[in-house]
Amino acid sequence: MSRALALKLEPYFYTAPSLLLIAAIMLVPLVTGLSYAFHDLILLDPLSGDFVGLDHFRELLDDDGFWTALRNTVVWTAVSVALQFTFGLILALLLNRPFPGRGLVQALVFLPWAVPGFLSGLTWAWLFNPVIGPLPHWLQGLGLLATPQNILSDPHLALWGPIAANVWWGIPFFAITLLAALQSIPKDIYEAAAMDGAGPLLRFRRVTLPLLAPTIAITVMLRTVWVANFAELIVVMTKGGPADATQILSSYIFTLAFQRLDFGYASAVAAVLLLLLLAYAAAVMVLRHAMTERA
């Protein structure tokens, strides 16, 4: 091997162990899991494991549980991410201004992010219990409920329980990232805009939002993928019930794999979810690139 070629390959030799480790930890399980989607694999059936091709994907077309979970996933993800982003942006804007005790307020605001998802779901399930929790009584006092009932047992309202818990748990993510982006914006830009007569609202629209756009795009994309895959709150609070009213695709995968032990069909559902999220991420990146070029 010539010295010039060795110098060109040297960086790859340094990164090879890391790449092999990533492949072993991520790619191998991914490929293995996708291969299960084409096999009839039931954990406690020793005769299962035959190659079935696309049979699982054809079965999805007539699976009412899958379509219900898909609709719930869209509502769960869209509402959760929209509310998390809105409240996170408001908090970031408030925390970007100096005031007495800001450090303490920041610590309290970011506290939910440190709570494990399992514990968060368990706590919110207690809060929605009318026997020991205050939320049903507060909702009755506000006129939103006729009686202090547990909305987690109502098929028409149950999904809003995990959504409320998810919003509370995920707001700090947007607050932290957007606050960091806000603090990186030079103050000179705001001063120049103020000298030109721009008021607070105009400065927010013409200065803050455009400079936050790259951070907003990546955080919304990442958070959408995470929320769509986040079944922990659903499993802890409702287990997908009542009557599949809170079942999302990721919790449906959990139900199929670890309760029905049908790993083949669960892998097919997971493959569909993976393709949908990849398509969403690609669309966001293409749209962001087009907007950057236009700007």
Q: Which tokens go with 237?
A: 């609070």
pLDDT tens sequence across 135-181: 999 999 998 888 899 999 999 999 999 999 999 999 999 998 999 89
d(CA 43, CA 35): 15
Which burial class, exposed, middle or buried, applies to 286 when counting CB atoms under 10 A from its CB (0-12, 13-18, 19+)?
A: exposed
pLDDT in tens, the chain (295 residues): 567 777 777 788 888 888 888 888 888 888 888 899 998 988 877 778 888 889 999 999 999 999 999 999 999 999 999 999 999 999 998 888 888 887 888 888 888 888 888 899 999 999 999 999 999 999 999 988 888 999 999 999 999 999 999 999 999 999 989 998 988 888 888 778 788 777 778 888 888 888 888 888 889 999 999 999 988 999 999 998 898 899 999 999 999 998 889 999 999 999 999 999 999 999 988 887 777 666 5
Q: Which residue has the tokens 């490929």?
A: 31
What is the residue extent of each domain of the chain? 39-294
The per-residue pLDDT for range 97-106, each reduced to its tens digit, is 888 887 888 8
Contact yes or no for 117/169 (Cβ under 8 A): yes
Residues 6 or more apart in contact with residue 42 via CB below 8 angstroms:
48, 261, 262, 263, 264
Q: How far apart (Å, rounded) are the C-alpha atoms in residues 105 and 234?
A: 29
**Amino acid making up residue 151:** I
Q: Do the beta carbons of residue 87 and residue 167 sit within 8 Å?
A: yes
| CATH number of this structure's domain 39-294, picked from the four choices 2.60.120.1310, 3.40.50.300, 1.10.1060.10, 1.10.3720.10 | 1.10.3720.10
As a whole number of Å, the CA-based R_g of the chain is 24
Report pTM: 0.88
The two tokens of residue 180 are 């960091």
